[in-house]
Chains A and B, each alone.
Chain A
Amino acid sequence: MLTRVGERVVAGVVFRKEGRKMELKWFLWKGRKLEIKETTYMWRERDGRELIHRFVVTDGKDLYELSYRQEGLMWFLEAVETDG
């Protein structure tokens, strides 16, 4: 089941030198630290001038869609998908 969230979150990210990659490691949501096991997909999109990086990640159980807004340097949890 997909639930829209749209909340700003704190995220831990490694910026890789090779391949200009961003690697999400964890994020804080509802007082919990969710460790990311895998990034299943990532893509970029534009909202006008602003470039948004979107990530679908899993903690091994549920799927989360996070976005990074480059202009404001902000992370958002956009949606949670539980149990398919």
Chain B
Amino acid sequence: MYIDMDAYFASVEQASRPYLRGKPVAVVGSGKRTVIVASSYEAKRLGIKTGMTRGEAIRKLPSLVFVEGRNNKYVDTCVRIHEILLRYTPEVEICSIDEFFADLTGSLLLFPSPADIAAAVKREIGERFGITCSVGIAPNKLVAKIAGEFGKPDGLVAVEKDDVERFMEGLPVESIPGIGRKMKEALNALGIRTCGELRDFPVSVLRRRFGIWGDYLSFMARGTDPFRARDQGGLPRSIGHSMTFEKNIGDRVVIRARLLELSGMVARRLRKEKIVAKGFSLTLRYPDFTTLTKRMTLPFYTPNGRIIYETVTALLDSFRLKDAVRLLGVSAFNVRRFAANPSLFGGLDREERLWKAVDDVNDAFGECSLRPATTLLCVRHHWVISPAYRPVCFFS
């Protein structure tokens, strides 16, 4: 069962503030230059899209209401929705702050049917939080997700095993998760517009054109999930943070200070989720919105903020900056679970002990109570988490 909250951040704000209900609402950060991270269905219908700047949005829709996002509100609601789902099955995966997968295979002896569970979950979420969600039920995660998206908003779509191919047949190819604009255009150029056409297309031709992805596409068009065997055991694919600044930054000293701050944030999340990474990327965006990303893969895994910082500053040094930057982002990818590396002399090494102490202080007194002095160069602003953010348990 796939559960996707409808226009999550905006719906939570509309539930909190009854006067916003029925109005076009956009959730943004506190800065003047933040972009829209979520919008209500009323706003979406009138052309407001995630990623638009405030200026673009207001030109498009002068009646748009901007609301400053409240991260903790969304995270806590996500945790509570997770608690609701755990009452029906222990097999719940939080994909992002507004998406969940629940494996109901073992729950069917206790409840009449998956559709009954879905209806109960939808009802409880509606009653407790005043928001809606879309649910897809299917034999695998791929089709459940497609069914969930198909029923948006506030839908409940169940696809039986025998109906999977029929359900997929008429859907446009871009319904398949992972098929973006470029892939859609490439498929359209081959005369493929629907999943049925993709299914019937010779795999050998798809393979020649897209490599191994050709096989995956053919599988997915049949409603078979080719990635099931590659389940990462709940690991996120990447962990990253980015910041859009009030004023463009041209001074490399300040850019480095920001990278130190972002690296520290990424490292803190890696440690919190008990994972390590060996790939790191730096993203920067110029005032004209040209966005560049460079990546580096290290020969070892690490959760260490200093190493992340050194990696991304090395990436920064490989850029010849043509202008000041309006956004910086640091991401960790190629992750795996942290397996304690036994030190020769036992216990943690000096740097690990230091970071453990820093984490303990910040756990006790709040985020950023203790941080590198260099980051004092950075003026802190309230920012809104990305909807792709995946909470870990906070309240235990």
Contact = CB atoms under 8 A, between A and B. Distances in A.
Nearest to B361: A48
A65 to B, nearest CB: 9
A43 B72 contact: yes
B15 interface: yes
Given A45-B76, A48-B366, A56 B16 contact: yes
B77 interface: yes
Given A48-B365, A49-B364, A41 B394 contact: no
Given A40-B130, A43-B72, A43-B77, A48 B363 contact: yes
A48 to B, nearest CB: 4
Contacts of B395: 44, 46, 51
B73 A43 contact: yes
Contacts, number: 51
A41 B12 CA distance: 8
Contact of B18 (A43, A51, A58): A58
B21 to A, nearest CB: 10
Nearest to A81: B17
Q: How large is the interface on B (under 10, 10 to 19, 20 to 34, 35 or more residues)?
A: 20 to 34
B15 A40 contact: yes
B76 A44 contact: yes
B16 A40 contact: yes
Contact of B17 (A43, A44, A45, A84): A84
Residue among A45, A51, A63, A83 facing the most chain B CB atoms (10 A cut-off)? A45
Nearest to B74: A43
Contact of A63 (B17, B73, B362): B17
B362 to A, nearest CB: 7
B20 interface: yes
Contacts of A83: 19
DSSP majority for the B interface? helix
Residue among A40, A43, A45, A83 facing the most chain B CB atoms (10 A cut-off)? A43
Interface string B146-176: 0000000000000000000000000000000
Interface string A42-73: 01111111010010101000010000000000
A19 B111 CA distance: 22
Contact of A49 (B12, B16, B20, B363): B363
Interface in B263-322: none
Contacts of B72: 43-46, 54
Interface string B366-396: 1001000000000000000000000000110
Interface string A71-84: 00000000001011
A84 B19 contact: yes
A78 B395 CA distance: 22
Interface in B1-21: 12, 15-20
A40 B18 contact: yes
Interface in B71-96: 72-73, 75-77
Contacts of B77: 43
B17 A46 contact: no
A48 B369 contact: yes
Residue among B76, B369, B395 facing the most chain A CB atoms (10 A cut-off)? B76
A52 to B, nearest CB: 9
A2 to B, nearest CB: 9
B15 A41 contact: yes
A79 to B, nearest CB: 11
A44 B32 CA distance: 27
18 contacts: A40-B16, A41-B15, A41-B129, A41-B130, A43-B72, A44-B395, A45-B73, A46-B366, A48-B362, A48-B363, A49-B363, A49-B364, A56-B17, A63-B17, A81-B17, A84-B17, A84-B19, A84-B20
Given A48-B365, A63-B16, 11 more contacts: A40-B130, A41-B15, A41-B16, A41-B73, A45-B72, A46-B394, A47-B366, A48-B363, A48-B366, A84-B17, A84-B19
3 A-B pairs with least C-beta separation:
A45-B72, A84-B19, A41-B16
